[in-house]
Amino acid sequence: MPAPGGRARLRELGIAIGRIPTGEWNAITDVPGVKVGQVTIVRGEGALQPGKGPVRTGVTAIIPRDDVWNKKCFAASFVLNGNGEMTATNWVQEAGWLETPILLTDTLNVGKVSDGVVSWMSKLNPQMGIADDVVLPLVAECDDSFLNDQRGRHVSEQDVLTAIEHAKSGPVAEGAVGAGTGMVSYRFKGGIGTSSRKLPAEMGGYTIGVLVNCNMGTRDELRIDGVPVGAEIQDLMPKSKVSEGSIIIVVATDAPLLPHQLQRLAKRSAMGLARTGTIASHGSGDFIIAFSTANTVPHYPNERTMTATAMNNTHLNPLFTATNDCTQEAIANALTMATTTEGRDGNTAYALPLDRLQVIMKKYGRL
């Protein structure tokens, strides 16, 4: 899909992280069955009027598979630093499965987005909360209040339904879109980014995809493929204070993994995050959810036992490498695709300048 405002993905700039090839779209949607939908909300400009605007926010929906309530996925979560929220993860950790879409939004819209998920899933499952279980929506947040009127809670139920119902496979919009509309990362404009890896046949042939909502890091920390990009670009800073931020990382794979193995995968995405420079600061909320589409966990099966396929632990290393690389590249794509955004009170998050990035990468031998 064409990039807005002359922006480009990392590989379009000639920069590749790692040696494992990407999937067709270099996106989380390369994992078969995974879909992404987004709604971007931009309204108003000028001085903040709490409850009214300006609005720079949105919602991003990741659908693990069709009818995930009745065909659950093995899953696990991991918290690197817990100043934030990813709802329903107590149940994910307890049961070892994922049974809802994953929704990303801003902090104060968590309740409204959760409400929208309940409405959508209740429509699909009319006995939910009556003769069937109630649903615990999985909603993860980051703080976009530097650019957005958070107190207005401007994401509506219809926005949530639209994001879910319009979710699709294929290329994924990145940067200042969906839940990433108002996010700031490494003091540049951040937001949504994604990447994938397709293991060669001799390593299993599995696909790993990562999607991030980036809102973390200070400028000096930023590294891309090991290069201290943030230290090299010390201008284009926000003029007022930005929160310590957060990041949400979603890891998907078609490799047959059990919940404890998926948690190991989630931890490797945290290592990829660290390679981009952030230290998971005290005020940051760094939450990771990982799921596998290889096995299906039925909803209230009649059988007493189930059979699942799982990889041997001694063969996981290529998946660990791929997850690490995907996470780094997804974060970089969020930065290279995001456009300069002015929000409330004239607060501005500047886009990472791509021409200067290429000069820096050449200086350090990456181009």
- Tell me whether residue 286 is one of the annotated catalytic residues: yes
Q: What is the CA radius of gyration of the chain?
A: 19
Could you say which of 196, 269, 284, 292 is catalytic? 284
Query: Quick one: which of 45, 63, 66 has its CA closest to 54?
Result: 45
81 and 284 Cβ atoms separated by less than 8 Å? yes
Could you say which of 195, 246, 269, 292 is catalytic? 246
- Tell me whether residue 149 is one of the annotated catalytic residues: no
Could you say which of 106, 143, 144, 286 is catalytic? 286
Phi–psi pair at 158, nearest 5 degrees: -65, -35
Strand, coil or helix: what is 146? coil
Structure tokens at 298: 């039925």
Dihedral of the alpha carbons of 315, 320, 322, 323, in degrees to the nearest 10: 140
Query: Quick one: which of 222, 235, 218 has its CA closest to 281?
Result: 218
202 vs 185: CA distance, rounded Å: 37
239 and 345 Cβ atoms separated by less than 8 Å? no
107 and 87 Cβ atoms separated by less than 8 Å? no
Q: 35: buried, middle or exposed (CB in 10 Å: 19+, 13-18, 0-12)?
A: buried
Catalytic residue list = 246, 284, 286
